[in-house]
Amino acid sequence: MIALKYGAIPIVRETGGLKDTVIQFNEDTGEGNGFRFYNYNPDEMGETINYAIKLYQDKNIWGKIMTNAMKSDNSWEKSTEKYADLYKKLMEEL
61-70 residue pLDDT tens: 999 999 999 9
Give the pLDDT confidence score for residue 17 in this predicted structure: 87
Cα-based angle 67, 56, 59 (whole degrees, multiple of 5): 60
Number of domains in the chain: 1
CATH number, domain at 88? 3.40.50.2000
Q: Are residues 44 and 68 in contact, defined by beta-carbon separation less than 8 angstroms?
A: no
Q: Which domain holds residue 49?
A: 2-93
pLDDT < 70: residue spans in the chain: none
Q: Are residues 12 and 25 in contact, defined by beta-carbon separation less than 8 angstroms?
A: no
Give the pLDDT confidence score for residue 81 in this predicted structure: 86
